[in-house]
Amino acid sequence: MAKSKIKPLSDRVLVQPEPADDKTESGIIIPDSAKEKPQEGTVVSAGPGKVENGNKIDMSVSEGDTVLYGKYSGTEITLDGEEYLIMRESDILGIVS
Amino acid sequence: MAKSKIKPLSDRVLVQPEPADDKTESGIIIPDSAKEKPQEGTVVSAGPGKVENGNKIDMSVSEGDTVLYGKYSGTEITLDGEEYLIMRESDILGIVS
Amino acid sequence: MAKSKIKPLSDRVLVQPEPADDKTESGIIIPDSAKEKPQEGTVVSAGPGKVENGNKIDMSVSEGDTVLYGKYSGTEITLDGEEYLIMRESDILGIVS
Amino acid sequence: MAKSKIKPLSDRVLVQPEPADDKTESGIIIPDSAKEKPQEGTVVSAGPGKVENGNKIDMSVSEGDTVLYGKYSGTEITLDGEEYLIMRESDILGIVS
Amino acid sequence: MAKSKIKPLSDRVLVQPEPADDKTESGIIIPDSAKEKPQEGTVVSAGPGKVENGNKIDMSVSEGDTVLYGKYSGTEITLDGEEYLIMRESDILGIVS
Amino acid sequence: MAKSKIKPLSDRVLVQPEPADDKTESGIIIPDSAKEKPQEGTVVSAGPGKVENGNKIDMSVSEGDTVLYGKYSGTEITLDGEEYLIMRESDILGIVS
Amino acid sequence: MAKSKIKPLSDRVLVQPEPADDKTESGIIIPDSAKEKPQEGTVVSAGPGKVENGNKIDMSVSEGDTVLYGKYSGTEITLDGEEYLIMRESDILGIVS
Cβ–Cβ gap F77/G95 under 8 Å: no
Cβ–Cβ gap E68/G53 under 8 Å: no
Q: Which residues of G touch F10 (CB under 8 A)?
A: 60, 90
Chains F and D touch (3+ CB pairs under 8 A): yes
Q: Which residues of G touch E (CB under 8 A)?
A: 5-10, 12, 14, 47-48, 51, 53-54, 75, 77, 86
**CATH at residue A66:** 2.30.33.40
Q: Does residue F58 lie in a domain region?
A: yes
Most confident of B82-86, E50-54, F37-41, G33-37: B82-86
| Nearby residues of A24 by Cβ (< 8 Å), 6 or more positions away | A30
The rounded distance, in Å, linking the Cα atoms of E6 and E12 is 11
Q: For the ranges A19-28, A39-48, A69-78, C39-48, which has the lowest average pLDDT?
A: A19-28
The rounded distance, in Å, linking the Cα atoms of A47 and A50 is 8
In three-state secondary structure terms, E33 is helix
- Over residues F26-82, the pLDDT tens digits come to 666 656 555 555 589 999 999 999 988 778 889 999 999 999 998 889 998 887 788
The bridge status of strand C66-69 relative to strand C92-96 is antiparallel
The rounded distance, in Å, linking the Cα atoms of A49 and A58 is 5
Cβ–Cβ gap B7/A53 under 8 Å: no
The rounded distance, in Å, linking the Cα atoms of B49 and A60 is 11
Least Cα distance to C56 among D77, F71, B57 occurs for B57
- Alpha-carbon Rg for chain A in angstroms: 15
Q: Which residues of C touch B53 (CB under 8 A)?
A: 53-54
Chains E and F touch (3+ CB pairs under 8 A): no
Query: How many Cα atoms are found within 13 Å in the side-chain-facing hemisphere of A19?
Result: 5
Q: Does residue C28 lie in a domain region?
A: no
Residue D6 — φ and ψ, nearest 5°?
Answer: -90, 125
Q: Is the ipTM here above 0.85?
A: no
Average pLDDT (E29-35) is: 59
Q: Which residues of C touch B60 (CB under 8 A)?
A: 9-10, 48
Least Cα distance to E62 among E18, E95, E22 occurs for E95
In terms of CA atoms, which chain B residue is nearest residue A55? B54
In three-state secondary structure terms, A42 is strand
Residue A91 — φ and ψ, nearest 5°?
Answer: -85, -10
Least Cα distance to F92 among F7, F16, F28, F13 occurs for F13
Q: Does residue C84 lie in a domain region?
A: yes
Q: Which residues of B touch C53 (CB under 8 A)?
A: 52-53, 55
The overall average pLDDT reported for chain G is: 83
In terms of CA atoms, which chain A residue is nearest residue D25? A81
Nearest chain G Cα distance for residue E13, angstroms: 14
Residues of chain G with pLDDT under 50: 1-2
Cβ–Cβ gap A90/B8 under 8 Å: no
Strands (E), chain E: 6-8, 12-17, 40-46, 51-52, 55-56, 66-69, 75-79, 82-88, 92-96
The rounded distance, in Å, linking the Cα atoms of E37 and E18 is 9
Q: Which residues of G touch F5 (CB under 8 A)?
A: 96-97
In terms of CA atoms, which chain G residue is nearest residue E95? G7
Q: How many domains does chain C have?
A: 1
How many E×G Cβ pairs under 8 Å?
A: 43
Which residues does residue B85 pair with via DSSP β-bridges, in sequence order?
B15, B76
Cβ–Cβ gap D12/F57 under 8 Å: no
Cβ–Cβ gap A39/B77 under 8 Å: yes
Which pLDDT score, from 0 to 100, does residue G38 have?
Answer: 56
Query: How many Cα atoms are found within 13 Å in the side-chain-facing hemisphere of E67?
Result: 30
DSSP labels for A27-40?
Answer: -PBPPGGGSPPP-E
Q: Does residue D27 lie in a domain region?
A: no
Residue D71 — φ and ψ, nearest 5°?
Answer: -55, 145
Cβ–Cβ gap G94/F53 under 8 Å: no
Cβ–Cβ gap F6/G70 under 8 Å: no
Least Cα distance to A65 among A90, A34, A33, A43 occurs for A43
Cβ–Cβ gap C96/E6 under 8 Å: yes
The overall average pLDDT reported for chain C is: 83
Q: Which residue has the higher pLDDT, G53 or D11?
A: D11
Which pLDDT score, from 0 to 100, does residue E19 have?
Answer: 80
* CA distance readout (Å), E36 to B52, C87, D59, E70: 47, 34, 55, 12
Nearest chain A Cα distance for residue D61, angstroms: 9
In terms of CA atoms, which chain E residue is nearest residue C61? E9
Cβ–Cβ gap G93/F54 under 8 Å: no
- Contact of B10 with A90, CB cutoff 8 Å: yes
* CA distance readout (Å), F91 to F61, F88, G13: 12, 5, 25
The rounded distance, in Å, linking the Cα atoms of B61 and B6 is 16
Q: Which residues of A touch D87 (CB under 8 A)?
A: none
Nearest chain G Cα distance for residue F75, angstroms: 7
Which chains sit next to D, with 3 or more Cβ pairs under 8 A? Answer: A, F
Which pLDDT score, from 0 to 100, does residue D23 have?
Answer: 59
The rounded distance, in Å, linking the Cα atoms of F53 and E26 is 53
Q: Does residue F26 lie in a domain region?
A: no
Q: Does residue F5 lie in a domain region?
A: no
Which pLDDT score, from 0 to 100, does residue G53 have?
Answer: 76
Which pLDDT score, from 0 to 100, does residue B23 have?
Answer: 59
Q: Does residue C85 lie in a domain region?
A: yes
Confidence of residue B63 (pLDDT cuts 50, 70, 90): very high
Which pLDDT score, from 0 to 100, does residue D71 have?
Answer: 83
B70 is in which domain, residue-wise?
1-18+36-85
Which pLDDT score, from 0 to 100, does residue C65 have?
Answer: 97
The rounded distance, in Å, linking the Cα atoms of G84 and D61 is 50
Query: Is residue C1 pLDDT above 50, yes or no?
Result: no
Q: Which of D1, D5, D7 to mutate to test the interface with F (most CBs of F within 10 A)?
A: D7
* CA distance readout (Å), A40 to A21, B82, D74, F70: 12, 16, 30, 40
Q: Which of C7, C45, C91 to mutate to test the interface with B (most CBs of B within 10 A)?
A: C7
Q: For the ranges B35-49, E12-26, E50-64, which has the lowest average pLDDT?
A: E12-26
The rounded distance, in Å, linking the Cα atoms of C7 and C13 is 9
Would you tell me how many other CB atoms lie within 10 Å of the CB of residue A15?
28
Average pLDDT (A21-35) is: 61
- Over residues D16-43, the pLDDT tens digits come to 998 866 556 666 665 655 555 558 999 9
The rounded distance, in Å, linking the Cα atoms of F25 and C54 is 62
Query: Is residue D45 pLDDT above 50, yes or no?
Result: yes
In terms of CA atoms, which chain B residue is nearest residue A92? B9
Q: Which residue has the higher pLDDT, D86 or B33?
A: D86
Least Cα distance to B55 among C53, E55, A50 occurs for C53
- Contact of A70 with A91, CB cutoff 8 Å: yes
Query: How many Cα atoms are found within 13 Å in the side-chain-facing hemisphere of B89?
Result: 25
The rounded distance, in Å, linking the Cα atoms of C43 and C84 is 10
Which pLDDT score, from 0 to 100, does residue B22 have?
Answer: 60
Which residues does residue F15 pair with via DSSP β-bridges, in sequence order?
F43, F85
- Contact of E66 with E41, CB cutoff 8 Å: yes
Q: Which residue has the higher pLDDT, E30 or E46?
A: E46
Query: How many Cα atoms are found within 13 Å in the side-chain-facing hemisphere of B71?
Result: 10
Chains E and D touch (3+ CB pairs under 8 A): no
HEC sequence for F45-74: EECCCCEECCEECCCCCCCCCEEEECCCCC
How many B×C Cβ pairs under 8 Å?
A: 43
The rounded distance, in Å, linking the Cα atoms of G49 and G46 is 8
Cβ–Cβ gap E7/C95 under 8 Å: yes
The rounded distance, in Å, linking the Cα atoms of E14 and A80 is 66
DSSP labels for G46-80?
Answer: E----EETTEEPPPS--TT-EEEE-TT-SEEEEET
Number of H helices, E strands in chain C: 0, 9
Average pLDDT (E60-83) is: 90
Q: Which residue has the higher pLDDT, D78 or F87?
A: F87
In terms of CA atoms, which chain G residue is nearest residue E40? G77
The rounded distance, in Å, linking the Cα atoms of A61 and A48 is 11
- Over residues C49-85, the pLDDT tens digits come to 998 877 888 999 999 999 999 888 999 888 778 889 9
Q: Which residues of E touch C96 (CB under 8 A)?
A: 5-7
The rounded distance, in Å, linking the Cα atoms of G54 and F47 is 25
Q: Which residues of C touch E (CB under 8 A)?
A: 39, 52-53, 55, 57, 60-61, 68, 70, 89-90, 92-97
Q: Which residue has the higher pLDDT, G63 or B31?
A: G63
Confidence of residue A1 (pLDDT cuts 50, 70, 90): very low
In terms of CA atoms, which chain F residue is nearest residue D46? F94
Q: Which residue has the higher pLDDT, B23 or B7?
A: B7
* CA distance readout (Å), E54 to B55, C50, C61: 15, 11, 18
In three-state secondary structure terms, E2 is helix
Query: How many Cα atoms are found within 13 Å in the side-chain-facing hemisphere of C44?
Result: 22
| Nearby residues of D29 by Cβ (< 8 Å), 6 or more positions away | D22, D23
Nearest to G12 among E52, E53, E93 (CB): E93
Q: Does residue B45 lie in a domain region?
A: yes
